[in-house]
Structure 1
């Protein structure tokens, strides 16, 4: 008979829980998909996909609330109809009748932990892949609708176009504006361009075959004009690379190897390139100031150069050569002399990559020595750092190399303000990421376990408020749930804002769970006495 009663209660409980879950999921999922629809201009098919992919995220929050509503409503009605008193008069204890609610609470807690630690991050990655697969349609649809599109996630590139041909993957009348910290750094225009998206696991790539290409952004606002050019743009995650969307094993891997987290890797490679730039500037300056004024040699895969200059200067994230400059170009394989160029302005750039780092030389208004031909711009790319510098930069990993102590050894002196700023920014990002990992894991664990006392409190409040309105029990039981959410948010903010006091933030999170357990014990102790 006891099992029959428990099965009856659980069936009623689960029916209300299921209906509440379905209703709340549809409402909140539609609300959650509005931001991607507005941001990326998604079509109907893409909206359906994103809605399905975002559903596990909403279920993480909906399941506890639906179970809380079902437990307060079912046990409140059970008590108000005197069915609970009849069971107790028949010798069935109160705690025996609470077992179905406890079973639902445990199931919801387990489901919540599985969703938050494994399922939700997996579906977020699926949503990312879906957006990547439709990236071309998103770009073209936004340009058709608004005439421009700001490339996510940071809006570094703003693309304008007069005409879109989706069948041929073509854009006509193009203007691409590049931003850096809110300032325009480069303007590129083209008569037409064919666009191809190439998604990768850790980044996205856009390749453009451009016709009638023009570029402005060089020293002196010099325009560069080419009949045809090929451009590549890399941009990060469309949905944002955030710790809260990572699986447990991914967070553990990031904690073991911080370079696996793209926001850290991006700053680290920028600092690495800046360190290589400053090391190159120091080495070049020493050789140019030497008594014999020897030429400086840079070797490359296909072409190598040997140049002389009056001097050099560190120009933010590049090395500016001071004229007169004479550059001899050779074939790297045969050693054959190709040509000699002279100019007054040239810049050495270091690529933001850990595999080289690579170098490129930009010469402005150079003149070919043998023919006297004047060029607007001449570019030599895929050059390698001198071997001694490369060995010092590869002495350890990227993060170890750009650390202030090791960087001072490489530079044989203090770092520039630019490098020091990148080092501080990287340090903040690393400390913030480690704190985010601890906070996110604690948040998921506390909220998942907190489902059990939260639902038990809902059951107890439903029984206590048997004489009042049924929904009043649900409203009263939402207060402890809100306290748990507030303590989790407060603890998370304390951990982020005061990174050195991460333990106190964790204590605040767990204190909310302890408060719910104490309240549940108090409620059931009171019910046991009545």
Structure 2
């Protein structure tokens, strides 16, 4: 039995690594195209995009680990069923229940790994992602002012400086023209200015010293003198509308979510919708990791009772059942955030349903009985095949 458990566990780990790698690869291709479009007008290289993707990996892993766990267990037991290994083990007195220690240990490890990502890894990845994207925008983007060159990267704003010291952030003979307000043109001119960065809010302030403001509206022109005048630039606009300042529930640590749930006054906003998002995200961080062990146990009887079907049909059925789970989960998230139902019901409903199906399916599989829905599927398939042959 030790050898059997070892072989099953090894195969599960191999399939898990392959499944995670394939899914991450597909996501990487899509995200690279998205980020490349985002930085199309910026001097951001391929390695920089890979760094950004690395920090988004915890977010992706939280979503794909449950399905990877389910597919690993399903494909392992489906292969054993197709190769008649399960039949041989049954003939030698090895019941399905005696094979469970290996998949249970595997699913438990995947669950603990996903809990680690859910509680700490996700928030760390999102924080690092925002920090890196700010650094790239600040140091690599075309916004870096060049002496004697007009900069129009920000919509409605034009910057110019005769002399630029990017290391010290000092500008000489600088001006900015603001045409963001329709029908009004504002020009700020000063003999010197300084660039001050704020990584926390992803803002850049250009502070003009002892200059003049020329404001023209129609035929009216106003001239004002000032000691200091600051022009605030949001790097999020430079990156296609990326919002650095907004605090989102999905970016918070689990401890922070718990703190807000216990004391809503600690939330950055008093919006009821934000609190619902916090509540929904809280239960999401709990239910998704548990989905690893639930879907893993669910996959065993599904693979066992599908032994009468071809492997490709079983795989399609398995993917369809996961889509049902994920659709229920997504609906629970939407309804929880919208206030239609309490988030705890929407988040736990898919897990409870699949636990019941897994328990019933395990009983049928151990007794070598086929679920009625599989019999119906086979009957419909055979009937369609006969009609096609007759035609």
TM-score range, shorter chain: 0.7 to 0.9
Cα distance change of structure 1 residues 193 and 525 upon mapping to structure 2, 3 Å threshold: farther
CA–CA separation in structure 1 for the residues paired with 2:77 and 2:216: 70
Q: Which runs of 5+ in 1 are unaligned?
A: 151-156, 265-428
Match for residue 333 of structure 2?
Answer: 492
Cα distance change of structure 1 residues 223 and 488 upon mapping to structure 2, 3 Å threshold: farther
Say which of 72, 75, 78 aligns to 2:74: 72
Count of aligned residue pairs for this structure pair: 350
Whether 2:254 is the aligned partner of 1:252: answer: no
CA–CA separation in structure 2 for the residues paired with 1:59 and 1:218: 54
CA–CA separation in structure 2 for the residues paired with 1:524 and 1:161: 69
> What are the residue-to-residue correspondences of 1:51-450 with 2, within 5 Å?
51-137=53-139, 139-140=141-142, 148-150=152-154, 158-161=156-159, 168=166, 174-178=176-180, 187-189=186-188, 196-201=195-200, 203-210=201-208, 214-216=213-215, 222-224=221-223, 229-233=228-232, 238=244, 240-255=246-261, 261-262=267-268, 264=269, 430-450=271-291
Q: Contact between 1:30 and 1:51, CA under 8 Å: does it hold in 2?
A: no
CA–CA separation in structure 2 for the residues paired with 1:114 and 1:222: 61
Q: Contact between 1:136 and 1:197, CA under 8 Å: does it hold in 2?
A: no
Greater Cα offset, 12-21 or 214-223: 214-223
CA–CA separation in structure 2 for the residues paired with 1:462 and 1:94: 12
If you compute each CA radius of gyration, which structure gives the higher value, 1 or 2? 1
Whether 2:304 is the aligned partner of 1:466: answer: no
SS of corresponding position for 2:271: helix
Greater Cα offset, 208-217 or 41-50: 208-217
Greater Cα offset, 473-482 or 432-441: 473-482
Whether 2:355 is the aligned partner of 1:517: answer: yes
CA–CA separation in structure 2 for the residues paired with 1:258 and 1:42: 42
Whether 2:369 is the aligned partner of 1:528: answer: no
Match for residue 48 of structure 2?
Answer: 46
Greater Cα offset, 93-102 or 164-173: 164-173
SS of corresponding position for 2:223: strand
The structure, 1 or 2, with the larger RCO (C-alpha pairs under 8 Å, 6+ apart) is 2
CA–CA separation in structure 1 for the residues paired with 2:163 and 2:309: 65
Greater Cα offset, 487-496 or 2-11: 487-496
Q: CA RMSD in A?
A: 3.6
The offset of 1:220, in angstroms, is 9.3
The offset of 1:436, in angstroms, is 0.8
CA–CA separation in structure 2 for the residues paired with 1:221 and 1:252: 56
Q: Contact between 2:77 and 2:300, CA under 8 Å: does it hold in 1?
A: yes
SS of corresponding position for 2:93: coil
SS of corresponding position for 2:178: strand
Cα distance change of structure 1 residues 187 and 249 upon mapping to structure 2, 3 Å threshold: farther
Cα distance change of structure 1 residues 513 and 162 upon mapping to structure 2, 3 Å threshold: same
Q: For residues 267-301 of structure 1, what are the alpha-carbon distances to aligned partners after superposition, in whole Å with 9 as ceiling and x for unaligned?
A: xxxxxxxxxxxxxxxxxxxxxxxxxxxxxxxxxxx
CA–CA separation in structure 1 for the residues paired with 2:192 and 2:230: 10
Q: For residues 106-126 of structure 1, what are the alpha-carbon distances to aligned partners after superposition, in whole Å with 9 as ceiling and x for unaligned?
A: 222222222122101111101
Q: Contact between 1:73 and 1:470, CA under 8 Å: does it hold in 2?
A: no
CA–CA separation in structure 1 for the residues paired with 2:162 and 2:251: 34
Match for residue 18 of structure 2?
Answer: 19
CA–CA separation in structure 1 for the residues paired with 2:43 and 2:312: 39
Q: Contact between 1:36 and 1:42, CA under 8 Å: does it hold in 2?
A: no
Q: Contact between 1:118 and 1:248, CA under 8 Å: does it hold in 2?
A: yes
Return the TM-score normalized by structure 2: 0.76
Q: For residues 166-220 of structure 1, what are the alpha-carbon distances to aligned partners after superposition, in whole Å with 9 as ceiling and x for unaligned?
A: 87466977433456xxx7887445589866342354x244221448754538899
CA–CA separation in structure 1 for the residues paired with 2:27 and 2:162: 35
Q: Contact between 1:131 and 1:238, CA under 8 Å: does it hold in 2?
A: no
The offset of 1:471, in angstroms, is 3.6
